[in-house]
Amino acid sequence: MRFVLKTDYHRDSDLFRDRVQFSWYAALFIFVLCLPIVSGTYVESQLTTVFMWSIAGAGLMILVGYTGLISLGHAAFLSVGAYTHAIMLDLGVPFFVSIPLAMVLCSALGVVVSIAALRMTGIYLAIATLAFAMIVEKIVKNWSAVTGGNAGFKVAPPELFGWELNSTAYYYFCLLVLTLVMLCVSNLLRAPTGRAFIAVRDSEISAQAMGINLLKTKALAFAISAALTGLAGTLLAYQWHYLFPDSFSMLTSIQLLMLVIIGGLGSMSGVVFGAIFITLLPDGIATVREWLPDSIGNLPGLEPLTFGLLLILVLIFEPLGINGRWQKMRLFFSQFPLYRNKTLKRQKSFLRTERVH
Amino acid sequence: MFEVVRLSKHFGGVTAVHEVSFSVNEGEIFSIMGPNGAGKTTVLNLISRFYDVDEGTIQFAGEDITHAPPHEIARKGIARTFQNIELFERETVLQNLLIAQYIHRKTNIFSDLLFLPRVRRQEAQSRRFLEDIIDLLHLQRYREQQIHSLPFGVRKLVELARALCLKPKLLLLDEPSSGLNPEETEDLSFWIEDINKELGVTIVMVEHDMNLIGQVSNRVLVLASGRSIALGTPVEVKDHPDVISAYLGT
């Protein structure tokens, strides 16, 4: 076990606990940086997908993991981001203009949704966001003059000053965006704004007593969340080349939610774990399909079934997700042989203020 | 400094608080007591604006706050604790106290996103202020611990500390001694006096423990069934015939 000697209040605001932790992250970054040199295009494109899902997941994590609001409609922001970006590219707007514009549009949309949705909590909020996602899906489907409808919309390839980015360059581009997103989100979470989110998550009543404006804070969380998910959408548009309304269905929303829950609610590393999991899962299912007898292997519903089953199992057996498991493993080794099974068990508390609601 | 005039609150057909009036002087420790269901906590919830006032007015520092939104109350200088503790359970003690600095922040979302040097300076400044409160309440050893791993008595203290971190002028305490053992209650009475004298905070507390009230408070208001039945020094109130009959029945 390492102990950190703090001699300065700034140490508590630092991103990394100590040099050792910083070195691990630096090593990971260098590894990811060098990977395309040795790996094939398959690994490269899979990792690019992981980066994109991580960005979208970071957006949803702020909402679900840090502000305690659930959303079943985040595919809508993905879709709005992707389509806005693709349409603007089509009009000849360069990507470094169209991506921020798509993000602004998404966050504005997020605020609009939040105004309608924030009078609700829990399951009602989930259903409201689901309804919103369906509305967006229908609009995209039927407004074919702009979105191309079911025929799809072709996305112009990524270009920078007349150079077309190849897949390796695009990999680095996504890595850069992900790094910036992770930095910004971590900054937010160690500053007053992020603390306000956490306060709203843990106790709305005492957040108010601390002078935090609930509606404003929730709307802000929605706006940031929608902007980041929209950003992921713009990147996905490049990756997919063609956009179809069905690419952003309810299943996508659930996949995103699954990403943050399986990754581990309330942690940014959980987002990356979840994104890796989500990216590898379809391939895993495809492999398993081949082993299974045809009668089961060819069932069309196998994928959603596996998603749902895994989500339930994680919620029952490891509510803190992959990140929680990872933390426990680290604790086990750092305290070996003194680790107790109940170390991280939460004490049930029945003493909440029921009188104020 | 703080005045409540003919405050009433109904829940359906039940009158929880009926025309309660009292005023608190600057620097005073004012207690509200009464049997269960007398409407003590309701009065606090009305003051912190978690409930809408049906009738009457609340004045604080020459300002009418009867209809101020609940999140504005802290900014006006009124902090509170809760009877059953409402801390941010998954966070450390330090993070809980830092949240109370939110209303004093001078940075906005954009500087937070980039964690500009002034955000860093502000964080260190907040810490310096928090450490004074931590020293006052002897919470040093719990700084990095998560709330859900702390014993009940310490949680109550953390909540008190968090309220103080708002730099309030008026502190509302909802049954500060509930769930504490006699020694902890004894300590609490000294702390309440320290907070009142050293930090110059006016205190309104809802309390059951007659000893605690007798030790620290200047004046006591007794409520029964939502009405005020007595107001005076602890000694006066203790022997008041209406108070005795409210507690023991007639």
Distance from the Cα of B127 to chain A's closest Cα (Å) equals 7
Tell me whether 0.95 is exceeded by the ipTM. Answer: no
Three-state DSSP class for residue B76: coil
Contact A9 B86 (CB under 8 A): no
At B189-235, the pLDDT tens digits run 999 999 999 999 999 999 988 889 999 999 999 999 999 999 999 99
Residue A344 confidence class, pLDDT cut points 50, 70, 90: low
Q: Which two tokens stand for residue A116?
A: 């309608």
Walk me through the domains of chain B, giving residue ranges and CATH numbers: 1-77+168-250 (3.40.50.300), 86-166 (no CATH)
Segment among A25-39, A81-95, A188-202, A300-314 with least mean pLDDT = A300-314
A164-189: burial string, b at 16+ Cβ within 10 Å, e else: ebeeeebbebbbebbeebbebbbbbb
Contact A190 B148 (CB under 8 A): no
Q: Which of residues 289-348 of A touch B (CB under 8 A)?
A: 346-347
B130 contact A CB<8A? no
Dihedral over alpha carbons A260, A261, A263, A268 (to 10 degrees): 50
Confidence (pLDDT) at A343: 65
B100 contact A CB<8A? yes
Confidence (pLDDT) at A345: 63
Residue A149 confidence class, pLDDT cut points 50, 70, 90: confident
Best of A210, A224, A347 to disrupt the B interface by mutation (most B CBs within 10 Å)?
Answer: A210
Confidence (pLDDT) at A211: 94
Task: Return the DSSP state at A158.
Answer: P
Q: Which two tokens stand for residue B86?
A: 């409402």
At A56-70, the pLDDT tens digits run 999 999 999 999 999
**How far is it between the farthest Cα atoms of chain A?**
66
Nearest to A202 among B74, B88, B102 (CB): B88
B132 contact A CB<8A? no
Beta-carbon contacts of A213 under 8 Å, excluding residues fewer than 6 positions away, are B69, B71
Judged against a pLDDT cut of 60, whether residue A351 lies above it is answered with no
Q: Which two tokens stand for residue A8?
A: 């300065």
Contact A9 B75 (CB under 8 A): no
At A150-171, the pLDDT tens digits run 888 988 888 777 777 888 999 9
The answer to whether residues A93 and A85 touch, using CB atoms and an 8 Å cutoff, is no
Q: Which residue has the tokens 């082993």?
A: A291
Q: How far is CA B156 from the centre of its chain?
A: 12
Among chain B residues, the shortest Cα distance to A206 is held by B86
Report the candidate in A344, A346, A348 with the shortest Cα–Cα distance to residue A323: A344
Judged against a pLDDT cut of 70, whether residue A209 lies above it is answered with yes
Phi, psi (degrees; rounded to nearest 5) at B115: 45, 60
Residues of chain B with pLDDT under 70: 250
Best of A195, A198, A212 to disrupt the B interface by mutation (most B CBs within 10 Å)?
Answer: A195
Residue A348 confidence class, pLDDT cut points 50, 70, 90: low
The answer to whether residues B121 and B113 touch, using CB atoms and an 8 Å cutoff, is no
Task: Return the DSSP state at B182.
Answer: H
User: What average pLDDT score do residues A218-230 get?
Assistant: 96
CA end-to-end span of chain B, whole Å? 37
Report how far apart, in Å, the C-alpha atoms of A164 and of each of A46, A161, B20 are: 20, 8, 75
DSSP line for A275-306: HHHHHHHHHHHHHHHHHS-HHHHT-TTHHHHH
Run of H or E residues at A31: helix A19-38
Among chain B residues, the shortest Cα distance to A208 is held by B71
Contact B102 A351 (CB under 8 A): no
Cβ pairs bridging A and B (under 8 Å): 130
Contact B74 A196 (CB under 8 A): no
Contact A211 B85 (CB under 8 A): no
Confidence (pLDDT) at B101: 92
Cβ neighbours of A339 (radius 10 Å): 14
Contact residues on chain B for A16, CB-CB shorter than 8 A: none
The answer to whether residues B98 and B134 touch, using CB atoms and an 8 Å cutoff, is no
Residue A342 confidence class, pLDDT cut points 50, 70, 90: low
Residue A213 confidence class, pLDDT cut points 50, 70, 90: very high
**Average pLDDT over all residues of chain A:** 88
Run of H or E residues at B227: strand B227-232
Confidence (pLDDT) at A346: 58
